[in-house]
Amino acid sequence: MKHIIKHPAPELRNSKIDDPADLREMSVDQLKKVADELRADLVSTVAQTGGHLGASLGVVELTVAIHSTFNTPDDKLIWDVGHQAYPHKMLTGRRDRIHTIRQGGGLSGFTKRSESEYDPFGAAHSSTSISAGLGMAVARDLKQAKNHVIAVIGDGSISAGMAYEAMNNAGVLGSKLIVILNDNEMSIAPPVGAMSKYLTRLVSSKPYLNAREIAKSISGHLPAPLREAAKRAEEVVRSGIGGGTLFEELGFYYIGPIDGHNLDELVPVLKNLRDSDGKKPILLHVLTKKGKGYAPAESAPDKMHGVVKFDVITGSQRKSIPKAPSYTNVYADALIAEAKRDERIVAITAAMPTGTGLDRFADFFPDRMFDVGIAEQHAVTFAAGMAAEGFKPFVTIYSTFMQRAYDQIVHDVCIQNLPVRFAMDRAGLVGADGATHAGSFDIAYLCCLPNIVLMAPSDEAELMNMVATAACYDDGPIAFRYPRGEGIGIALSTQGAPLEIGRGRILRRGTDVAILSYGTRLTECLKAADMLESKGVSVTVADARFAKPLDIDLIKDLATTHGTFITIEDGSSNGFGAFVLQTMANLGLLDGQLKIRTLHLPDRFQDQDTQDKQYQDANLCALDIIRMVTT
């Protein structure tokens, strides 16, 4: 057994424990008090900062139990997705900074390697913990070390194919890995007596794990009929205790389910798993309640998963009154309007019906909305299959999550030229969720693909037009991106009008400087133009609308009638601006004296902050455009 560092138990009154070592000499009753205090501080803090509350409330006891049992950070603890890690952060030296979470210069809302040695793996996209944990476990074995590796994965995250790929691999590698399935969708059944608790503890113990290995070894030498009978008998016993046949077939020891809020159960079981010397991965199935211990969260439909600032007493969130509808809601309304006209339109999302607005679509068309779970790859190929049969699928996924399905976009959609529609929400910078959720790269990674049409609206009315354009475009795949947050307040019609493919527009005409915008930075371009005009600089402002195909006539016009040409986009380098430069070079438009510059996101990952501050940091505001023109 690995040596556990022990410290004297601290005084519990207002202890504010922020070092896991302080937990390891405590009794279970003391740990319960720590959990209660942690939960109260968590609610109080998130009420002031906003953030992910429900999932973190659900793992308070589990977090305390893990850190009191294992010798973190030597023992590696990986959280999946990471938004359930607020209690973990509070117990690992960051309690005095938890009030800065998701704010500029503060703590990340997810686990982050550069933030703490207690975060061995960053996680903001789901379903990565078992793969990463297995890699660490195998690396440990190769180094002949003795530390433990624990991966905590939610029941939503384990729906993704990557989790099963990892489990399939883990089952044959023979490395000890402890996977804790945090299941907060199932209600915890009433206790059935002391015997069930005893059996659960028993099956996690070293003697039982060893006995099962011996039994399997012996049964392998039995005649076939007896061997099959022994296998069925062992499965029946396990089913009576809690099931887990699927995990067993993948090569895991399955234990549970157990109550994830009962430290009297959790701690002994985790200690048994820690002290076992088996060579197989173990899956501990833990049942938790999202929002546990805070009544407003427990009673909320979403368990207060993601919240803005709220009143601790009532749980009411202090939501600001929007000045304009959000792009997400405009998209949903536009898609509903198109679907009323065309019964072939279907909507597909990957575990984000509310975040993408498709919950509203489902209210109108419950049989035509498909939430496939955390499975972006499947979502795209599923859509390709529907498109092959004459339907019009709108795959609606955040830009950052669309990255996970890139191979399917290439092989299953673009190569076959299938008319799948891609609606990418949260394009550009996203504020408090930071680098992991920014929609920075979709322009660059889609521009290089043959057959696809790419659009970006400059405002909410243009978004409606692009939904209509996608609905009537059947010649191949088409994609459009739009940002997080509110529109600019422009008047909206009841339904969008299809645009001519590959045709941009000029909003104001000048003679000295041409600014070609792709997406919602157009507002900043118009502000810059006003300021430049006040200084005697005549400015043309154009909205590209399309990145692919580009409006060649528009580009020729801008390049040949102005001395300075600026492109701007809220995407990474090698995106729209690079595509425009390549086109101009091939047309010979760069052979003269034209001054041309490209504005795009910086070549680095930007940390969390407000969206406005992020765009200022990215140098994509009106003053930055002016600086580019005048220097």
Answer whether 197's CB lies under 8 Å from 268's CB: no
Report the C-alpha gap between 236 and 231 in whole angstroms: 9
299 half-sphere exposure, CB direction, 13 A CA radius: 6
The DSSP code sequence of 193-216 is -HHHHHHHHHHTSHHHHHHHHHHH
Nearest to 556 by CA among 594, 517, 521, 522: 594
CB 583 within 8 A of CB 84: no
Catalytic residue among 274, 404, 421, 548: 404
**What is the layout of strands, in order, in the sheet containing 345-349?**
369-371, 345-349, 392-398, 421-427, 478-483, 453-455, 546-548
Strand ranges for 350-411 from DSSP E = 369-371, 392-398
**Dihedral of alpha carbons 350, 352, 358, 359, sign:** positive
How far is 23 from 33, CA to CA, in rounded Å? 11
Catalytic residue, from 37, 265, 376, 569: name it: 376
Give how far Cα 128 sits from Cα of 51, 53, 118, 258, 391, Å: 21, 21, 17, 24, 33
Instruction: Provide the phi-psi class of 51: left if phi over 0, else alpha when psi is between -120 and 50, else beta.
Output: left
Distances (CA, A) of 65 to 83, 257, 611: 18, 16, 37
- Contact yes or no for 325/460 (Cβ under 8 A): yes
Q: For residue 290, report the phi and psi dihedrals to the nearest 5 degrees.
A: -65, 130
Which residues make beta-bridge pairs with 348? 370, 395
94, 290, 303, 426: which is the annotated catalytic residue?
290
521 is catalytic: no
Residue 216 is among the residues annotated as catalytic for this protein: no
For residue 233, give both structure tokens: 């008998």
113 counts as catalytic: no
Catalytic residues: 290, 376, 404
